Amino acid sequence: MMRPSPGRTAPPSVYVKTYGCQMNERDSESIAALLIGHGYRLAQDEVDADVILVNTCSVRGKAEEKAIGKLGLLVAGKRERPGLVVGAVGCMARRLGGELVRRVKGLDFVVGPRRLHTLPAVVEAVYAGRGPVIDAGEGEDEMAEPLTEHLTGGPSAFVNILLGCDRHCAYCIVPVVRGREWSRPADGVLREVESLVSRGVREVTLLGQSVMSYGRVNPVWPGEYVSRLGFREPLPRLLEAVGAVEGIRRIRFTSGHPSGCTVELARAMAEIPGVCPHLHLPVQSGSDRILGMMRRGYTAGYYLEAVRRLRSAVPGLALTTDVIVGFPGETEEDFQATRSLMEEAVFDNAFIFKYSPREGTPAAAMKDDVTAEEKLRRNHVLLEDQDKRGLRINEALQGTTLEVMAEGPSLRNQARWAGRTGSNKIVIFESVAGIEAGAIVQVRIDKAGAQTLYGSIQPGERLTG
Ligand code: 5AD
Ligand code: SF4
């Protein structure tokens, strides 16, 4: 068992600070649950934690700088708090390994995203004076089930279905830091979903860097599985099986790639009750020339065709996307192609990123020739376009009544609640007595912003989850 710092009687407490994507959020939750299972308790705040883990992201230089800054501050805090243990986990831990201990003097451990199951032993080794411990992880041993522990509480949960990524887009560090693509066998996924639902979860989001590759590299279904709806592809089959779990109300999956937007997937989204009409489908650029250099494996026309296939099957489908501006060699003409594609695809929301060269990726060898000011300008232009587009789309929803899953009091105003539509739009509504997180209620939309809808609960609703 773990060894608390000298003189301490209560079990040591742990705090996990998270940077990066939903996969990191998921990992942080399972790290916390795993350590609780080993006798730790959860600290409310980093200031009263005995062990602080920073779950890091490597996707852009900025994300890494932030985490390194944070780790530096935490390690400096050890002077006032002897016995404090500080470790880095996640993508940057994998990318930098022991180098991170040289950069952040006093760091106690570095554990990569596919080695998180070693954390209880790692922290124990640090307590036993055998730190710093480096377990960045690489090689074949990483083809293993991910952590499946969850914390209790809340109506929504993330479930990993695919680890790593074999796509090798030219700009992306993910294949380096998250390793080879590996899909979890469906039975393990289903057991996890069933257990979540038995603990009150009503909505699951199935996660994978390129989730539509599910089952592509390794088989995930035993031969005898028969899909009632006649699906042959692994992801539609999984969606159907998850949808059949008694008590599940909503199913999401992310992130997508246009090559996975097959006729069957479109049909799965349309026909399986509970599968939400929303897809995050990163496009990255609207210029065929840039898409080619990015090695995305599609053209703008192919992407738009995938969008048409989905939209014609799934009524009310919301699409969100990621775009990179300022990729090496991106001209004004390329940029304008991105602007028009975004308009043509009618995205509900978009995340815009300024290109950041990542060492070890093919694009890092290209000249990062779009100036910082120009990247910023393009970023602003796309955000402004998106704001107008988002507002236009959301205004058209005014006066309609949408199904909303209540999530909890709004952060800004506790008299109001926040929830989400199936299309993943945030809805703010006046709270009513007795409402519980997880309740699915009908909300009439009275007002629309570019990112948020405002409405009122329709009378006669069941308010419990
Ligand atoms: N520079 C900028 N943005 C990037 N992304 C991934 N790699 C980079 C990079 N090197 C963006 C992509 C991806 C999102 C998670 O981050 O748009 O979809
Ligand atoms: Fe997530 Fe990618 Fe960042 Fe890792 S590098 S946390 S996979 S966004």
Give residue for tokens 């290109």.
355
- Choose one of 114, 141, 168: the last residue of a domain: 141
178 CB less than 6 Å from ligand 1?
no
Report whether 250 contacts 202 (CB < 8 A).
yes
Query: Is 463 part of a structural domain of the chain?
Result: no
Q: Which bound ligand lies closest to the C-alpha atom of 360?
A: 1
Residues 75 and 32 in one domain: yes
pLDDT tops 50 at residue 339: yes
Q: Would you state the pLDDT for residue 266? A: 98
Residues 24 and 128 placed together within one structural domain of the fold: yes
Choosing from 22, 59, 178 the residue with most ligand 2 atoms within 8 A of its CB, the one to mutate for a pocket test is 59
Q: What is the pLDDT of residue 3?
A: 54
What is the 8-class DSSP label of residue 316?
T
Ligand 1 centroid to residue 29 C-alpha, Å:
23
Expressed in angstroms and rounded, the spacing between residue 379 Cα and the centre of ligand 1 is: 13
Query: In which band, very low, low, confident or very high, does the pLDDT at 140 lie, cut at 50, 70 and 90?
Result: very low
Q: Is 285 in the pocket of ligand 2 (CB under 6 A)?
A: no
User: Residue 463 has what pLDDT?
Assistant: 78
Q: 238 in ligand 1 pocket by Cβ < 6 Å?
A: no
199 lies in the same domain as 161: yes
Q: Are both 40 and 109 inside the same structural domain?
A: yes
Q: Say how many Å lie between the first and final Cα of the chain, rounded.
A: 38
Task: Identify the nearest ligand to the CA of 254 by its number.
Answer: 1
Number of domain units in the chain: 4
Express as a percent the part of the chain with pLDDT over 70.
Answer: 96
233 alpha carbon – ligand 1 mean position (Å) = 28
Q: Which residue's CA is the nearest one to ligand 2's atom 1?
A: 21
286 lines ligand 2 (CB under 6 A): no
Residues 375 and 325 both lie in one domain:
yes
Mean per-residue pLDDT for 12-19? 97
For a ligand 2 pocket test, name from 24, 26, 53, 284 the mutation site with the most ligand atoms within 8 angstroms of its C-beta: 24
For residue 201, name the pLDDT band (cuts at 50, 70, 90): very high
Ligand 2 atom nearest residue 56's Cα: 6
Same-domain status, 405 and 388: no
Please say if the pLDDT value at position 138 is more than 90.
Answer: no
- Domain of residue 224 covers 152-276
The last residue of one of the domains, among 141, 166, 185, is 141
Q: Secondary structure of the chain: what % helix, strand, coil (to 5)? A: 35, 20, 40
Distance 93 CA to ligand 2 centre (A): 11
Asked whether residue 462 is domain-assigned, the answer is no
Q: CA 362 to CA 367: how far, in whole Å? A: 11
CB neighbourhood size of 15 (10 A): 19
What is the token pair recorded at 339? Answer: 């602007």
The reply to whether 201 falls in a domain is yes
Classify residue 300: in a domain, yes or no.
no
Q: Which of 443, 440, 438 is closest to 428 using CA atoms?
A: 443
Looking up residue 378, the CATH number of its domain turns out to be: 3.30.750.200
**Which of the ligands is closest to the CA of residue 363?**
1
Average pLDDT for the chain: 94
Q: Is the CB of 56 under 6 A from ligand 2?
A: no
Residues 197 and 103 in one domain: no
Residues belonging to the chain: 465
Compute, in angstroms, the gap from residue 58 CA to the centroid of ligand 1: 10
Among 396, 422, 449, give the residue marking a domain's end: 396
For 377, phi and psi rounded to 5 degrees? -60, -50
How far is the C-alpha of 144 from the C-alpha of 245, rounded, in Å? 25
Q: What is the CATH number of the domain that holds 443?
A: 2.40.50.140
Cα separation, 147 vs 153, whole angstroms: 18
In sequence order, what E strands does 41-142 have? 41-42, 51-56, 85-90, 109-111, 133-135
Ligand 2 contacts CB of residue 174 (under 6 A) = yes
Encoded amino acid at 294, one letter = M
pLDDT tens per residue, range 51-89: 999 999 999 999 999 999 999 999 999 999 999 999 999
| Domain match, 352 and 269 both | no
Question: What average pLDDT score do residues 106-119 get?
Answer: 95
Is 60 touching ligand 2 by the criterion CB < 6 Å?
Answer: no
CB of 197 closer than 8 Å to CB of 246: yes
Q: Does any domain span residue 147?
A: no
Q: What is the CATH number of the domain that holds 94?
A: 3.40.50.12160
178 ligand 2 Cβ < 6 A: yes
Cα–ligand 2 centroid distance for 327 (angstroms): 19
CB distance 353 to ligand 1 below 6 Å: yes
Does the CB atom of residue 375 touch ligand 1 within 6 A?
Answer: no
In tens, the pLDDT along 234-281 reads 999 999 999 999 999 999 999 999 999 999 999 999 999 999 999 999
Residue 413 lies in a domain: yes
**CA 92/CA 279 separation, integer angstroms:** 28
Instruction: Tell me: pLDDT of 462 over 90.
Output: no
Please check the confidence at residue 319 and state whether its pLDDT lies above 90: yes
Same domain, 31 and 117: yes
pLDDT at 227 over 60: yes
Residues 391 and 408 in one domain: no
Q: How far apart are CA 324 and CA 307, in angstroms?
A: 19
Question: From the CA of 175, which ligand is nearest?
Answer: 2
Nearest ligand by distance to the CA of 283: 1
pLDDT at position 143 is 59
Q: Which ligand is nearest to the CA of 209?
A: 2
Span 304-331, average pLDDT? 98
- Asked, for residue 290, whether it belongs to a domain, the answer is no
**Residue 115 lies inside a defined structural domain of this protein:** yes
* Residue 74 Cβ < 6 Å to ligand 2: no
Verify that 371 and 425 share a domain, yes or no.
no
